[in-house]
Every structure is written in C-alpha cells, then in structure tokens.
Structure 1
Amino acid sequence: MYKILSWIAVVLWMALIFYLSHQPATISNELSSGITEMIVNALEKLASSFQFDIGDLHHIVRKNAHFFAYLTLGILVLNSLRRSGIYGMQSAGIAFLICVLYAITDEVHQLFITGRSGEVTDVLIDSAGAGMGIIVYLIISRLIGWYRNRRTVD
C-alpha cells in the first residue's frame, strides 16, 4: 500500500512540475513576481534599513523554485524506490538518474511553450536540488536507523 502511495506522490509531484512548466512566460512570471513581492515585503519588515533589488531577488526566487522542486522530487523518488525494495547506493543512483532525466525533458518541454526556453543551467540547478534531496533522505534515514538501533540496545 505504501509503495503505491509513494509512487502516486512521485507522479503527482512530476505533474505539478509539468503544469508549472507548461505555463506561458507571462503567467509564470506573474506567479514568481507575486512570490517575490511577498518576500520583499517580509524582508522590509524584518530589516527596514536594507534596500532590496526586486529584479535580483526575482531571479533568485525563480532559481530556488527549481532547486526546491527537484529537492522534493529527489526525496520522493528515493523513498519510492526504497519502498519498492531497491536499497543502497543503487537506489540513490537510480533516483538521481530519474530526476536528471525528468529535468532534461522538462526543459525540452519548455522549448515549445510561448515565451519560455530550455536552459542547461536550469537542468544543473534541478540536478543539484535532486542530489541534495537524495543526500538529505540518506542522512535522515541513517539517523533514524542509528536511533532505532540505539533504542533496542538500551
């Protein structure tokens, strides 16, 4: 049951990435601009003496969205592979390969969307995010295993 649910989560997350990538540039820009404005407003309240360049921040928000979307995808794919009985470094390698291939196809897909482009740098950012998600998953699962083993010994 958990195996099926974990793969459903992967497919739904990939569908969300596809949906966001399928938006024309104007709509995508409006969404990230709205998020950037919320961040700027929050930062101005916290640090009113600083001036923030909304253009630079907008670019950072867009690139971080790539990173964190694929960080999440990396976690979800690795979890699904492990629930499917694939463990060790093999599961991490397969998860990373799936995420990188999806990032490539996502950027190719954007070539056919009005005002969008496929960027190699975005694939690199996506891959870094997926890799970080996989590393985070491995660290947390190792800590949980260590904690469980420690509790059974005590």
Structure 2
Amino acid sequence: MKKLSIHKLLPWMAVILWMALIFSLSHQPASESSEMSSGITKFVIEAAQQVMPVTEADFDVLEHIVRKNAHFFIYLVLGVLVVRAFTKSGVHISKAIGSAIATCLLYAMSDEFHQLFIDGRSGEFRDVLIDSSGASLGIILYWFAGKMLRRNKQNVLHHEQV
C-alpha cells in the first residue's frame, strides 16, 4: 500500500476545512445569516463614508451585493484550494482544472440543496451560477499564476546558463 505524503494530504485538508466553513455558513438560519450580512454591510457603508461622503445608501441593495459577493469570493477560494489539491496529488493541470470545476459545481449544488432544509433559507439556481463563476475564476487565477511562475523560473534558468 502506498504511503500518503503530508504534502499531498494538507491541500485536501484545506479543501475539507473550507467546505466545512461553507457548510456552517449555509447551515445558519436566515435570521443569523441576515444579521451577519447586515453587520458587514454597515461596516462597508461606514468605511465608504470615511473615504467619500455618501448621501443616501440603499441598505437593502448594498446588503444584496455584499451577500452575492460573499458567495463569489468564498467559492473563488474553494476553486483555488480544490485545483491545488488535485495538482499536488499528481493530477495533470488540464485534468485538475476539469475535476476542480466539477467538484466545485457539485458542492455549490449540494450547498443550495442543503439550504432548502434550513429555516428561512432557500436554494437558488442563481447562487449556484455565482458560486461556480467564483470557483472558475479562482481556478483560472491558479492556472495563470502557475503559468507565470513557470515562465519566470524558465527565464531565471535561461539567464543563469548564459
């Protein structure tokens, strides 16, 4: 039996912990979830008013934007973590990208399904689209950053040989 190395295990542990965070946030009843997003929205409004005076801020619109951006961002991070876990496990980048997209899409769908059973929450197809878009951007950013790092490494090696 092959021994599992720590450098292959840690990335998957990060994925599981991040998924657990998403699950715990989704498991909050609507009242708790709204309270958290209201607090964040108030903070954003106060910070914006420090930079530039805002006359009238439509709190509900801003709260909606904060909530949807939270979906996008939390899944952007998940996308990065999942594609990294696949590549650290030895999966070629092209297969890792496809596998990561599928994993994040399935998790987003299961997350929205889970919310159907939480008091005051609902499963939204649009949230699956937002989540999947965030994950896809995270995966693309990971691929692009890796490509740039490899290119820089090749340039350094080339200059050292000259």
TM-score when scaled to structure 1?
0.98
Q: 1:147 aligns with which of 127, 148, 152?
A: 152
**Correspondence for 1:90:** 95
Structure 1 position 69 matched with structure 2 position 69: no
**Correspondence for 2:138:** 133
Asked if the contact 2:48/2:54 (under 8 Å) is kept, the reply is no
> What residue identity is the alignment partner of 2:157?
T
- Bigger radius of gyration, 1 or 2? 2
Provide the identity percentage.
49
Q: Shift of the alpha carbon at 1:49?
A: 4.5
Q: Gapped runs of 5+ residues in structure 1?
A: none
Alpha-carbon RMSD? 0.8
**Correspondence for 1:35:** 40
**Correspondence for 2:51:** 46
Q: Shift of the alpha carbon at 1:143?
A: 0.3
More deviation, 46-55/105-114: 46-55
Q: Gapped runs of 5+ residues in structure 2?
A: 1-5
> What residue identity is the alignment partner of 1:83?
K
Alignment partners' CA distance in 1, 2:94 and 2:55: 45
TM-score when scaled to structure 2?
0.93
SS in 2 for 1:56: helix
